[in-house]
Amino acid sequence: MSMKKIELEIVALSHSVTQSHNYAVVLGEIEGSKRLPIVIGGFEAQAIAVAMENMTPNRPLTHDLFKNTLDTMGVELKEIVINNLMDGIFYAQLICSNRGETFTIDSRTSDAIAMAVRYDCPIYTLEFIMEEAGVILEDTDQKPKRKRKKPSNPDDLSMYSVKALQKILDEALDKEDYEKAAKIRDEITKRQSS
């Protein structure tokens, strides 16, 4: 069984088509064309999205709390490794260091990815996992860097002015509706860049 480490990056975060109420985070090889889709829960998807979008929730989410706790104790997250796959379930470890000592903490894969995004640290998996669960996408030449789904009803945001959108964005953040906030932020960004 090959134990070679392969570095991955997040290429997409999406609703899973197969299972309702589930999301998938799609990881892609940095040095290759294989993708590793992992089904995760809505809470973890939100935790990953919030960090990817650099949003600051009014109250720290669980993963922010965990990061703040590790930071306070002087523990640094060096990397995460998706190190096992059993019965369709991925297992992961946080590789941490503290005063020159390295140690590992077992984690659910979705939580590990949410932490990796917060620390901006590398995400690895092992070769045998890529061989077992990796898929090759046809359009490998273009890397879908954090492609966001368009709102299903595009009219709902395009009707508002940027000023109005900003107000709705603030309200969404207050309600901790980060999915909506991300869509509004995309719309504002799109307007400003065009």
Domain spans in the chain, listed from the N-terminal domain onward: 5-136, 155-193
In this predicted structure, the answer to whether residue 15 has a pLDDT above a threshold of 90 is no
pLDDT bin (cut points 50, 70, 90) of residue 172 is confident
3-class DSSP string for the chain: CCCCEEEEEEEEEEECCCCCCCEEEEEEECCCCEEEEEEECHHHHHHHHHHHCCCCCCCCCHHHHHHHHHHHCCCEEEEEEEEEEECCEEEEEEEEEECCEEEEEEEEHHHHHHHHHHHCCCEEEEHHHHHHHCEECCCCCCCCCCCCCCCCCCHHHHCCCHHHHHHHHHHHHHCCCHHHHHHHHHHHHHHHHC
Q: What is the mean pLDDT of the chain?
A: 85
- Fold annotation for 5-136: Bifunctional nuclease domain (3.10.690)
* pTM for this model (two decimals): 0.70
Q: What average pLDDT does the segment 86-95 reach?
A: 96
Spatial contact of 174 and 38, defined as CB atoms under 8 Å apart: no
Q: What average pLDDT does the segment 135-158 reach?
A: 53
In this predicted structure, the answer to whether residue 119 has a pLDDT above a threshold of 50 is yes
Question: What's the distance, Cα to Cα, between the start and end of the chain in Å?
Answer: 51
Q: What is the pLDDT of residue 62?
A: 92
In this predicted structure, the answer to whether residue 89 has a pLDDT above a threshold of 80 is yes
Q: What is the pLDDT of residue 108?
A: 96
Residue, of 141 and 70, whose pLDDT is higher: 70
pLDDT bin (cut points 50, 70, 90) of residue 151 is very low
Q: What average pLDDT does the segment 106-126 reach?
A: 96
